[in-house]
């Protein structure tokens, strides 16, 4: 395989934090070291935000919300800034996509797709005011008044590393459209694409204090969640962290939206040719090395078709190009971090110990001696009670689970703590829709798979709380007030 780009990429280092719209000296000299998952080389450093930096950013956001122009503008006026942000993101599109590939290891195609999603979200949020009633007249049996939807206040957004510019945009674009002010804490893994987002936000010229972006670790995140001047927390990340954050929010009844983990099922019915299912369904599990919350990692198949399905996926997994993600011909890159690779390899051992059959994969791809690579891995003879069928692995590991009836297929899909995404493949359209309706999940696709980010996105059960995207996402950044008129 020939790489079309040099083996080492340098990324821009940063020595300041983006607080309230300007670059500010950090409170400490602690830095985040950005290490390449491809070459294991140090690529850049950025400041590691500490609680004192968060305090500054929250104070700026509070002041901007309580006294500044942002919440008092019309939604149309704010939308003009969102258009400007979209333009500034577009100007930096290539740099962001390249940084994300270098620091997280996403193949070029996936990186471009994630950043396209970010553009879509800014575009969508800039038109929300055209299809949302911020105010309406209400009358009832013995009175009348106005229902007024007001920005919720200072919003803290905390996000993971697996698609940060897109994930951040899904939160901050509607939060800004609503009139909120925002403090955004990206994960310490892969912060450079986010610093480029901060540059785009700076260039868009939002009023002072409206937005801050401070990469930092878990304790910094927790400080932000606990902050009494933060009105709402919008979190994306693991279910474990979401549980902790929700309990902290409970202490002061802070508003919270949670976008958490998944273990989504793809159900294949009896009547459909596998040509119409694969290779797409196989990539729905291993694309971006399986580091996608909505990945389809359980493939649920009629028992008598299990061998046929397993053989098909095996052939795909063994022929897919795994390697340096900067090479355009590569479909699967490394995992984002060494600890992520260790976790995935541990799960592969768990699967073997549980008695599942390792069909292909399970280790480091031949010839890739550096970097956090794991081969696309397939397990068969899996029962849904196994840990590899129940727990989110967040790596390129797919399990095949057989069923004997459609009722059983639905029961398997639903026998999960999660409910984020899903897919159904059936020739019979009525059957496909009836299965889709019975699976308890936030989004489900028929005869294909996609994450739709401009429509409500979010999870049932432990996959989350609330929805992002479109007017449903906007609503989560608003409080509802009734003004009653006595006469
Ligand atoms: P993580 O939960 O460890 O970290 C996510 C973010 O939360 C990071 O910024 C981290 O610093 C911060 N954080 C962690 N613990 C915290 C705490 N107690 N208080 C405040 N902040 C805290 O998740 P990860 O391993 O970085 O990301 C992978 C997870 O994210 C997977 O479970 C994946 O499914 C999930 N995810 C979900 C969605 C979705 O939309 N549902 C999208 C992408 C990723």
CA of 465 to the centre of ligand 1 (A): 14
Structure tokens at 52: 């004192």
d(CA 350, CA 150): 49
CATH of domain 265-446: 3.40.309.10
| Shortest-distance atom of ligand 1 to CA 457 | 40
- The closest alpha carbon to 309, from 402, 218, 396, belongs to 402
> Among 118, 216, 241, which is best to mutate for testing ligand 1, by the most ligand atoms less than 8 A from CB?
241
Residue pLDDT, tens place only, 87-134: 999 999 999 999 999 999 999 999 999 999 999 999 999 999 999 999
| Shortest-distance atom of ligand 1 to CA 235 | 7
Q: Which residues contact 266 (CB under 8 A, 6 or more apart)?
A: 281, 284, 285, 296, 298, 299, 300, 422, 423, 424, 425, 449
Domain ranges in the chain? Answer: 17-260+463-485, 265-446
Q: Given this model, what pLDDT does residue 3 score?
A: 38
Q: Which band of pLDDT confidence, cut at 50, 70 and 90, is reported for residue 1?
A: very low
> Among 54, 100, 160, which is best to mutate for testing ligand 1, by the most ligand atoms less than 8 A from CB?
160
Q: Given this model, what pLDDT does residue 5 score?
A: 43
CA of 160 to the centre of ligand 1 (A): 5
Q: Given this model, what pLDDT does residue 10 score?
A: 80
Q: Given this model, what pLDDT does residue 311 score?
A: 98
CA of 239 to the centre of ligand 1 (A): 8
CATH superfamily of the 17-260+463-485 domain? Aldehyde Dehydrogenase; Chain A, domain 1 (3.40.605.10)
Residues 385-409: what's their mean pLDDT?
A: 98
Nearest residue by C-alpha to atom 31 in ligand 1: 238
Q: Given this model, what pLDDT does residue 455 score?
A: 96
Instruction: Yes or no: say if 159 and 188 are a contact pair by the CB < 8 Å rule.
Output: no
Q: Which residues of 260-292 are buried (b: 16+ CB within 10 A; e: fewer)?
A: bbbbbbbbbbeebebeebbbbbbbbbbbbbbbb
pLDDT over 90 percentage in the chain: 98
Instruction: Yes or no: say if 194 and 186 are a contact pair by the CB < 8 Å rule.
Output: yes
Q: Given this model, what pLDDT does residue 9 score?
A: 64
CA of 173 to the centre of ligand 1 (A): 19
pLDDT at 404 over 70: yes
Nearest residue by C-alpha to atom 25 in ligand 1: 238
CA of 161 to the centre of ligand 1 (A): 8
Residue pLDDT, tens place only, 281-327: 999 999 999 999 999 999 999 999 999 999 999 999 999 999 999 99
Nearest residue by C-alpha to atom 14 in ligand 1: 218
- Our answer to whether residue 259 is catalytic in this structure is yes
Residues 385-396: what's their mean pLDDT?
A: 98
Q: What is the DSSP letter of 364?
A: P
CA of 40 to the centre of ligand 1 (A): 23
Q: Which residues line ligand 1 (CB under 6 A)?
A: 158-162, 167, 185, 187, 217-218, 221-222, 225, 236-238, 241, 244-245, 259-262, 293, 392, 394, 420, 459, 464
| Shortest-distance atom of ligand 1 to CA 240 | 2
Q: Which band of pLDDT confidence, cut at 50, 70 and 90, is reported for residue 161?
A: very high
Residues 212-241: what's their mean pLDDT?
A: 98
CA of 236 to the centre of ligand 1 (A): 5
| Shortest-distance atom of ligand 1 to CA 463 | 41
| Shortest-distance atom of ligand 1 to CA 216 | 11
Q: Which band of pLDDT confidence, cut at 50, 70 and 90, is reported for residue 432?
A: very high
pLDDT at 27 over 80: yes
Q: Given this model, what pLDDT does residue 91 score?
A: 98
Nearest residue by C-alpha to atom 42 in ligand 1: 293
Q: Given this model, what pLDDT does residue 13 score?
A: 98
Nearest residue by C-alpha to atom 26 in ligand 1: 160
Nearest residue by C-alpha to atom 12 in ligand 1: 218
> Among 194, 238, 295, 456, which is best to mutate for testing ligand 1, by the most ligand atoms less than 8 A from CB?
238
């979209």: which residue's tokens?
A: 86
3-class state of residue 65 by DSSP: helix
**List 259, 375, 392, 468, catalytic entry:** 259
3-class state of residue 149 by DSSP: strand
| Shortest-distance atom of ligand 1 to CA 239 | 32
Residue pLDDT, tens place only, 233-289: 999 999 999 999 999 999 999 999 999 999 999 999 999 999 999 999 999 999 999
């Amino acid at each position: 395989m020939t790489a079309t780009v040099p083996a080492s990429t340098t990324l821009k280092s940063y020595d300041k934090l983006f607080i309230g719209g300007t670059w500010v000296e950090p409170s400490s000299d602690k830095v985040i070291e950005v290490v390449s998952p491809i070459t294991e080389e140090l690529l850049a450093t950025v400041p590691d935000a500490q609680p004192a930096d968060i305090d500054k950013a929250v104070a700026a956001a509070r002041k901007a919300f309580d006294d500044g122009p942002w919440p008092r503008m019309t939604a149309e006026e704010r939308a003009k800034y969102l258009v400007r942000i979209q333009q500034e993101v577009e100007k930096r599109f290539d740099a962001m996509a390249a940084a994300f590939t270098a620091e997280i290891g996403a193949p070029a195609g996936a990186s471009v797709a994630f950043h396209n999603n970010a553009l879509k979200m800014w575009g969508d949020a800039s038109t929300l005011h055209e299809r949302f009633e911020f105010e309406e007249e209400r009358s009832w049996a013995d009175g009348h008044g106005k229902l007024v939807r007001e920005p919720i206040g200072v919003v803290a957004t905390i996000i993971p590393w697996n698609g940060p510019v897109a994930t951040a945009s899904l939160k901050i674009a509607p939060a800004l459209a609503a009139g909120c002010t925002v403090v955004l804490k990206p994960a310490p893994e892969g912060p450079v694409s986010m610093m480029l987002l901060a540059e785009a936000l700076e260039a868009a010229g939002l009023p002072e204090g409206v937005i801050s972006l401070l990469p930092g670790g878990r304790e910094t995140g927790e400080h932000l969640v606990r902050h009494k001047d933060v009105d709402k927390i919008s979190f994306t990340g693991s279910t474990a962290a979401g549980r902790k954050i929700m309990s902290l929010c409970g202490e002061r009844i802070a508003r919270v939206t949670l976008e958490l983990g998944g273990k989504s099922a793809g159900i294949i019915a009896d009547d459909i040719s596998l040509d119409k299912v694969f290779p797409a369904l196989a990539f729905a599990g291993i694309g971006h090395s399986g580091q996608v919350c909505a990945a389809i990692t359980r493939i649920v198949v009629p028992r008598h078709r299990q061998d046929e399905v397993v053989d098909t996926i095996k052939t795909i997994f063994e022929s897919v190009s795994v390697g340096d993600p900067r090479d355009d011909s590569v479909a699967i890159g490394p995992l984002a971090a060494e600890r992520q690779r260790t976790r995935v390899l541990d799960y592969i051992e768990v699967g073997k110990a549980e008695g599942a059959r390792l069909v292909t994969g399970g280790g480091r791809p031949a010839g890739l001696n550096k970097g956090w690579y794991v081969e696309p891995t397939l397990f068969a003879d899996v029962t849904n009670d196994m840990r590899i069928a129940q727990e989110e692995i967040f790596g390129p590991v797919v399990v095949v689970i057989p069923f004997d009836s459609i009722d059983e297929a639905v029961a398997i899909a639903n026998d999960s703590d999660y409910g984020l995404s899903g897919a159904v493949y059936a020739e019979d359209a009525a059957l496909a829709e009836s299965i889709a309706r019975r699976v308890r999940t936030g989004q489900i696709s028929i005869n294909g798979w996609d994450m739709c980010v401009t429509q409500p996105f979010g999870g049932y059960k432990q996959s989350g709380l609330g929805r992002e995207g479109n007017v449903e996402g906007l609503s989560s950044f608003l409080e509802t007030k009734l003004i009653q008129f006595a006469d």
